[in-house]
Structure 1
Amino acid sequence: MTTNSTGSADRAQEPSDQEFTVRRATAEDIPGLVAMLADDALGARRETPSDLDPYRAAFDRIDADANQHLVVAELRGTMAGTLHLTIIPGLSRRGAVRSLIEAVRIHADFRGSGLGTRLIEWAVAESRRQGCALVQLTSDATRVDAHRFYERLGFQASHLGFKMPLD
């Protein structure tokens, strides 16, 4: 969000191609990534930015797996968003490869700028490049605004999901 000369907030401008880049996350990005994951009511309950050790171990596992694409979206050289794209080979759908988009976050300073749309568009394009026949994502049932966002981008609610905590 930007502030104009009168001090009121203007809607952030959509990023241009020259300002917007997506790159593979590095270990140095971990503090910023975890901060974005924790920056909402749901994330604040499940993330612990004060203890980065479990995130470093997870990052090492992700980074070592060629099917994992943990990325950082930068706007004008600043970390502005992230997502985790997983490529999943499978037998169903005639041996189709699919991708799974998870952990989509946009830094609070960049929400409403169009960056989220650009980041999802990047993930869909990368999924095509990786030979995927289907892109899927999950979103917590409480994230109603996110559901509308994904539907606006062409995603359709298609399945009922279940989880079982193992700890």
Structure 2
Amino acid sequence: MSVPETPRLLLSLDELVPSASSARGGALWKLAERRRQLDANLIRLPASGSVALHVENALDVLLVVVAGDGHLDGDDASLPLTTGSVAWLPRSSRRGLRAGSDGLVYLTVHTRRPGMGIAGPAAAAEGGEAPCALDRVCPHCGTMRAEARAPFCAWCGERQDPNADR
């Protein structure tokens, strides 16, 4: 019988965000509790940084702007983002982000991505991802990239090695 989880404070955005270097991009924090059903990431895009337009086919994502400003780009629109903005990114939508002159710090929350495996959950628990898919795993946050040659990770915003897929 498993022990039930108890609510707890995980971090203080008021302390973490100002203490992290504004030049540092990528994941500042990620939810790492073992038996969670959600994933969450706190991401910083440096000034004028961006996440290229991409499609996430599997998950809806909630995006909360914690600091800075920028734009949420889609095929037909560019929506302004400011501190306190909350955006819904529906699965199968095409979206990208552009940070403003002060950068953009945002929290993403979505259901936990199921592990990949050939023979079901037991195989994934024993050995993880199939070797043929390892080149699509972001080395910074561990998320599987939806597009094989995406220049940036859709979740943490880190630039991907262009030679990793070859």
Give the TM-score of the pair, scaled to structure 1.
0.26
Give the TM-score of the pair, scaled to structure 2.
0.26
> Greater share of helix residues, 1 or 2?
1
Higher relative contact order (CA 8 A, sep 6+): 2
> Greater share of strand residues, 1 or 2?
2
